[in-house]
Amino acid sequence: MLGVDEAGRGPVLGPMVYGVAFCPLSQKSVLQSLGCADSKALTEEKRDDIFTKMLTEDKSKDNVGWIAEVISPNYISNSMYRRVKHSLNEVSMNSAISLIKKVIQDGANLAEIYVDTVGPPEKYQAKLAEIFPNIKITVAKKADSIYPIVSAASIVAKVTRDHALKVWKFKEGLDMDHTQFGSGYPGDPLTKKFIREQIDNVFGYPLLVRFSWSTAELMLQEKAAPCTFEESEEASPNKKAAGTKSISCFFSPKDEKKSRKRHKFFEERCLTVTNPFE
């Protein structure tokens, strides 16, 4: 069986992390002995302790596998702003699906998949069932508090994100650590202070910031130099801009009463125009 969960969906700072955990159906007791329960109810220290046991204890190493994917703040914002927009739900689902496929490619014989929902559970479950038709799929709200395997995946994701923030190095040259920018959630006073103060009026924010979040967008509108972006919606292919000539006019004779003289190349070879559809 395999569980899927994420960490860092809501913050304006830092990556979103998707985690999967998997183990034999006959070894559910290993998850219970590790203490996998509702990860949101666990302290950071307890999550770190469980994850350490997953990495070091023989029974866990032999029976519980895991993978994490770190999705950068820049990738999230670029996906939401690009011409063909990718919503956060789509980014999330694509990550979950690619991780499941990776586990299968690595040789796991999956029989059951449990997923903490992104959006309506029924729609998400139907999508996964179509991609993985031979596997029992269960998508549920608060799955990390119901299924220990999802709780294990949640611990993988949360610990990975927490440590990613702790070791974050600013390529922009800022000399600060996670104790100065907080949890990354918009309501955190340290995060608010960071968003308010660490803004360049030309280049915007460091790569730690999800600039597509309204928290950052509003501050950019207030403090950054004004910018005008091209329209994201392309004009209809059948609609001409004012004053634009039709491309066909370059191939039609200006005087319709006069026929265009055929080029010598065609005359010498006795070539004529035909309609292949007649």
What Rg value do the Cα atoms of the chain yield, rounded? 28
Judge whether 222 is annotated as a binding position: no
Q: Is 6 annotated as a binding residue?
A: yes
- Quick check: 6 and 71 in contact, CB under 8 A? no
Report yes or no: 100 and 17 within 8 Å, Cβ to Cβ. Answer: no
The Cα–Cα gap between 216 and 209 comes to 8
Check the annotation: does 5 bind a ligand: yes
> Could you identify the residue written with the tokens 């004012």?
242
Element containing residue 192 per DSSP (H, E): helix 189-197
The partner residues of 65 in beta bridges, in order of sequence, read 22
User: How would you list the strands of the sheet with 112-116, edge to edge?
Assistant: 65-71, 16-22, 2-7, 112-116, 136-140
Burial 25-40 (b: 16+ CB within 10 A, else e): eeebebbeebbbbebe
> How far apart are alpha carbons 42 and 155 in whole angstroms?
9
Binding site members for a divalent metal cation:
5-6, 116
Binding site members:
5-6, 116
